[in-house]
Amino acid sequence: MTDIDDFDECRIPVVLGADDVARLTGDGPHRVEPVALCGLEGSHPGDHYAYAQETPNQAAWWVRWTGNGFGGGYALEVLRNCDQKHHVDHGDWTDDLGCTLWRGHPGRCDF
Ligand SMILES: [Zn+2]
Ligand SMILES: [Zn+2]
């Protein structure tokens, strides 16, 4: 559906604590998995970020961590959604794809 083919996600995993999985799952519409993958563009600088849960008001819960994500700890943050849109012209119809990352993220948008 999206032309995400040439967007290489980082996909470094992080393991969440059972209490955070339960709390985040209870806090929004999605079931949160105990292992989350970094969704930023591959080889990005700085910390890793994985989408965790939707919130109202154009924001979402994100998991932020440093390093390989195993035993190193992580932080949970509410970040505003990226407001970048990508207009795709299919000829007969057009699409406006929204970036699913947070506002100000490093690397490219994921549309
Ligand atoms: Zn990453
Ligand atoms: Zn973006």
Q: What is the pLDDT of residue 82?
A: 96
Mean pLDDT computed over 98-104: 95
State yes or no: pLDDT of 87 exceeds 60: yes
- Closest ligand to Cα 13: 1
Could you read off the pLDDT of 6-37 as tens digits, one per residue? Answer: 788 999 999 999 999 999 999 999 999 999 99
Please give the structure tokens belonging to residue 37. 């993958």
Q: What is the pLDDT of residue 56?
A: 87
CA 55–ligand 2 middle distance (angstroms): 17
When pLDDT is cut at 50, 70 and 90, the band that residue 2 belongs to is very low
User: For residue 70, with 0-12 CB atoms within 10 Å meaning exposed, 13-18 middle and 19 or more buried, which class applies?
Assistant: exposed
Could you read off the pLDDT of 29-73 as tens digits, one per residue? Answer: 999 999 999 999 998 999 999 999 999 889 999 999 998 766 668
Q: What is the pLDDT of residue 5?
A: 62
- Closest ligand to Cα 106: 2
Instruction: Provide the terminal-to-terminal Cα distance of the chain, rounded to the nearest Å.
Output: 10
CA 89–ligand 1 middle distance (angstroms): 30
CA 57–ligand 2 middle distance (angstroms): 17
CA 68–ligand 1 middle distance (angstroms): 9
CA 95–ligand 1 middle distance (angstroms): 28
Distance CA 75, CA 44 (A): 18
CA 85–ligand 2 middle distance (angstroms): 8
